[in-house]
A = this chain, B = another copy of it.
Amino acid sequence: MREFELIEWIKNRQQTSHSLTLGIGDDCATFTATAGRKVLVTADMLLEGSCFILAEAGAYAVGRKAMAVNLSDIAAMAGIPKYAFVSYALPKIGGSATAQELQRGLEDAAQEFSVVIAGGDTNSWEGKLAISITMIGEASGKPPVQRSGARPGDGIFVTGPLGGSILGHHLTFTPKVALALTIHQKYDIHSMIDLSDGLSRDLKHIAKASGAGFVLEHDLIPVTSAAKELALQSGNSATYHALHDGEDFELCFTLSPKESVLLAQDTAFEVFRIGTITADCQYLIQQESQLKELATLAYEHKIT
């Protein structure tokens, strides 16, 4: 397929499937923000070979994931996702079939979350597949939840079991957009983050931004069956994987002591209390009545 034909095909699909989109065909898409509500913007890029193996994952799953990681960032602020701007660099060889599968994955994820694919930039090159999405959302009736709002005494929660995402969950997860919104509607979430780099690393982002520390309860951290499976191979514990593995895409958030008790008893939500925010700036984990410092594993990547 000629490049401009492929681009026309993509544009037509975008226009047909999203008749609400304003501005397609102009140099910019345009929209009107809801008065009195913050606009939220996040950007994530996925790269073949580094973030996914195209032959293993398939382009459909890559498209879906590219959308989902951005949705998860909007969820992390209890926002409502609205518009996606999707740019990709397609390999010249095999790019046409890849683009069509990728586009299906993008569209399915967008439709599931009522997101309009409102623009972007489609290119081809001699390189591997790169996909870059910027997603725009808006705050719900309440202000967006930041990382910096945790207070000493807050309960720390996660929205699902953690660890071993690399065995498949990282490609198939459902971003917790609706859950974040409904919890934030009923309770006052103090701080929140989505777990992309691993609980140990991401919870420290909350603690640092809030000028606080935390104590995690080792035995309260929910682990996935994938974490258990991985533990058998790695020699580490399942909880080790739950603490340090990346790409869970669950949410980690904090609530006041009083609301933490209420939420833990609230049968409307299946969430897990895993610890407490503290006033000092220590990052601790309690196991069998021993308090230890929680290590963070360092990145291994190097750029020369």
* A87 at the binding interface (Cβ < 8 Å): yes
Instruction: List A25-82 residues whose CB lies under 8 Å from chain B.
Output: 25-33, 35, 38-45, 47-51, 72-74, 76-77, 79
Task: For the complex formed, measure the closest distance between the CB of A76 and the CB atoms of chain B, giving whole angstroms.
Answer: 4
* A188 at the binding interface (Cβ < 8 Å): no
Task: For the complex formed, measure the closest distance between the CB of A67 and the CB atoms of chain B, giving whole angstroms.
Answer: 14
Copies of this chain, whole number: 2
Q: With contacts A39-B33, A40-B29, A193-B27 known, is A45 near B132, CB below 8 A? A: yes
Q: Name A28's contact: one of B74, B86, B132 (CB within 8 Å).
A: B74
Number of interface residues of A (CB under 8 A): 79
Q: With contacts A123-B47, A126-B49, A146-B26 known, is A41 near B302, CB below 8 A? A: no
Are B88 and A28 in touch, CB under 8 angstroms?
no
Are B43 and A134 in touch, CB under 8 angstroms?
yes
* A92 at the binding interface (Cβ < 8 Å): yes
Q: With contacts A28-B74, A73-B28 known, is A121 near B3, CB below 8 A? A: no
Q: Name A29's contact: one of B6, B30, B41, B118 (CB within 8 Å).
A: B41
B residues in contact with A1, CB < 8 Å: 302-304
- A-B contacts, 19 of them at CB < 8 A, read A2-B298, A3-B302, A4-B298, A4-B299, A25-B148, A25-B209, A29-B40, A30-B40, A42-B119, A43-B119, A43-B120, A43-B134, A44-B121, A47-B127, A50-B123, A92-B304, A96-B304, A130-B132, A136-B136
